Chains A and B, each alone.
Chain A
Amino acid sequence: MEEQRVKIAGFGGQGIILMAYILGKAVSIYDGKFSAMTEAYGPESRGGACSSQLVISGTEVNYPLVDKADVLIALSQEGYDTFKGIVDEGGTVFYETDLVKNVRHHAKTKVFDIPCTRLAEEMGKKIVANIVMLGFITAKAKIASKEAMLRAIKESVPEKFIALNVSAFEKGYAHALERTAGKKPKGVVK
């Protein structure tokens, strides 16, 4: 398997690092592949620019950093602007519909916009926006299997929030499938 390089960017507090952690855990523990995750953040605990990166491979990961990304997940305009340049031509970009407004990309790049914060707000908890995003990505990009992702989520979040996170994941996943079927996503006004 070829290496897949994923970059996730956003604000501190959005769960950027947790996203990469869950993705990496699903891949390396439950899918039997290898992954290395690194993170970068500023001294602030909330609100500063934050990014995490994940390298996924069928063999042991040698070079752990992401200079050229196959997948970019942007949850903030700043994150998108900083890292849009490193996306490969044939790569994929996932971005937050409401937080990333100004999108310019290469014609060959696949682009998906996900209103994950809004979907999470519909569930009553804005903080699971990142997990909604993960659900969408699992359906659209072949990074990790759904079963592995669900197990990784259950292993990574506090026990009393497992149900919430799993339903958030399912919501993102279902949203992705609806998009594939060409339906207008339910409950989302764009």
Chain B
Amino acid sequence: MQPYGNPKVKIKHKKLPGRVVVIADRCKGCDYCIDYCPRDVLVRSEGFNTKGYHPPKVANEDACTFCGLCERICPDFAIYLEHENTQRITIQEPRRKQNIEFFPSPLRGEFFMQGDIACAEGALAAGCRFFGAYPITPASEIAEHMSVVLPRLKGVFIQFEDEIASIAGILGASWAGRKSMTATSGPGISLMNENIGLGMMMEVPAVIVNVQRGSPSTGLPTSWGQSDMMQARWGSHGDYGSIALCPKSCQEMFDLTVMAFNYSEKYRLPVFIMSDGIVGHMTEKVVIPPVEKLKLVERKYTRKTADKYKPYEAGPDLVPEFAKAGDGYRYHTTGLTHDERGYPDMSEEAHQKLVNRLVNKIKAHADDIIILEEKDTEKADVIVISYGITSRLSAPAIAIAKKKGIKVGSLRLVTVWPFPEKRIRELSKRVSGFVVPEMNLGQIVLEVERCSGKNCTVAGIGHAGGGIIRTEDIVKAITEAAHGKKK
């Protein structure tokens, strides 16, 4: 390729300050460097490399201006400029008084705060110092708040070009040792799903906030819904264990975000916060405790030496130890089925072992992860099972039903995934019916049906979102369940 510009201008040649080096075995023969070299310094060599390609060679060294285009264009990092007298300069940074990882959250005390902002503050308090997202109503306020506060805490905020890049970005940041988070709504989660699977496979801690809106597709951008619940469990392809928490108030947006970080660090996986448009855009009193009083779980870094460390070797708790990039441990990580060393292993045994562990590491710890909020369940005939904002929206109906003389209890799923199968099975043997109000057309009700079998009736009250479930409908369902009628 000829250089652009006026050919009459003569370029003075200086002695090169170094040389062009080709790592022949990395080359896959694309010839980009040859094509793009403005001075035709490189040509195809005659010989083969180990992969069977013709790597470039320097034919016309005098013409080289050391512009470095070949180094930048090479997709395989097979060509670079070596400067003479290259010295590795280490710049010693002045010691900071406080470690950035534990830089305190700027806020503490009582605030009248929006749910989204409480979520962002929860992340900051938990030690999140990398946030990558693409703004989307009703989750934009999380990104907005992070963009203001994170730089002040020496953290990094990036507004990526889309949600696919956002999730990839936070996985990378987490791999480098930063607690990372992204926030989005239904359409964003749909884009993220592939890389969520990558996070599950590579076992990278991260927190994904989904402030749900009316779906499918663009749906109701400024309204609410709960229709992504199954997506948090089965969104990405394949089997994996998943954790999802459902906050019902602004205070819980804070508390559960902290908890989500703890779970993600402890069990090494992306954890979902399944909020919704009402909670995200609601403003309530939020009490932020001092950072010292928060219970934070830090990542389990390995203490093994580099030669003995296997990145995917798990102990009895099924969670492998972590070594972050830059710690001196060199290892491979991939979305392909891998062995304990992290290298691709296409055997059936390796796949069975890995995928089983990914599912079982959550199953085995389900009792630790599951949090339920129960009220009057012990003597109840009918139990209203709800999660997130629906638990508050169904409160008036429960009060009306109680006035009618029906023994109603309520069970709120703070943790929706893993599903509290054991407890629901237990309760189903005692009650005459479950009522499951939710702002989708029946997702979690399927799980309740599965767990209760034929022990009791299960009535789902669906609402597609954008409005609220009518109190009368819930009361009617409770009354029917109390009389043992099947809906």
Contacts and interface: CB of A to CB of B under 8 A. Distances in A.
Contacts of B221: 43
| Chain A interface, DSSP helix/strand/loop, else mixed | mixed
B284 interface: yes
Contacts of B468: 65
A25 B396 contact: no
Contacts of A40: 222
Interface string A20-50: 1100110011000011111111110000000
A58 interface: no
B111 A29 contact: yes
Contact of A62 (B222, B278, B392): B392
Contact of A24 (B110, B249, B283, B392): B283
Nearest to A25: B112
A64 B251 CA distance: 14
Interface string B212-254: 0000000001100000000000000000000000000100000
Contact of B281 (A28, A39, A43): A39
A63 interface: yes
A29 B285 contact: yes
Given A29-B112, A64-B278, A35 B284 contact: yes
A171 B170 CA distance: 51
A28 B286 CA distance: 10
A61 interface: yes
Contact of B285 (A20, A35, A62, A65): A35
A63 B112 contact: no
Contacts of A28: 112, 284-285
A185 B394 CA distance: 46
Interface string B270-295: 00000000100111110000000000
A63 B283 contact: no
A37 B283 contact: yes
A38 B249 CA distance: 11
Contacts, number: 55
Contacts of A38: 278, 281-283
A63 B249 CA distance: 11
B284 A36 contact: yes
Contacts of A43: 221-222
Interface residues of A, number: 22
Contacts of A64: 278, 282, 284, 389, 392
Query: Which of B111, B249, B283, B396: most chain A CB closer than 10 A?
Result: B283
A43 B285 CA distance: 27
A37 B221 CA distance: 19
B153 interface: no
A64 B393 CA distance: 8
Interface in A61-94: 61-65
B284 A37 contact: yes
A42 B392 contact: no
B396 A36 contact: no
A81 to B, nearest CB: 20
Nearest to B250: A36
B372 interface: no
B314 interface: no
B395 interface: yes
B282 A62 contact: no
Nearest to A22: B112
A56 B389 CA distance: 18
Interface string B108-136: 00111000000000000000000000000
Contacts of A62: 392, 395-396
Nearest to A36: B284
Contacts of A61: 284
Interface in B364-410: 389, 392-393, 395-396
Contacts of A20: 283
Contact of A63 (B110, B222, B393): B393
A142 B282 CA distance: 23
B395 A36 contact: no
8 contacts: A24-B112, A24-B283, A28-B112, A35-B112, A63-B396, A64-B389, A65-B393, A65-B468
Q: 10 closest pairs, A vs B, by CB?
A: A25-B112, A37-B283, A28-B285, A62-B395, A36-B284, A38-B282, A62-B392, A29-B112, A63-B396, A28-B112
Given A34-B284, A35-B112, A152-B112, 10 more contacts: A24-B284, A28-B284, A28-B285, A29-B110, A36-B284, A37-B283, A62-B396, A64-B284, A65-B393, A65-B468
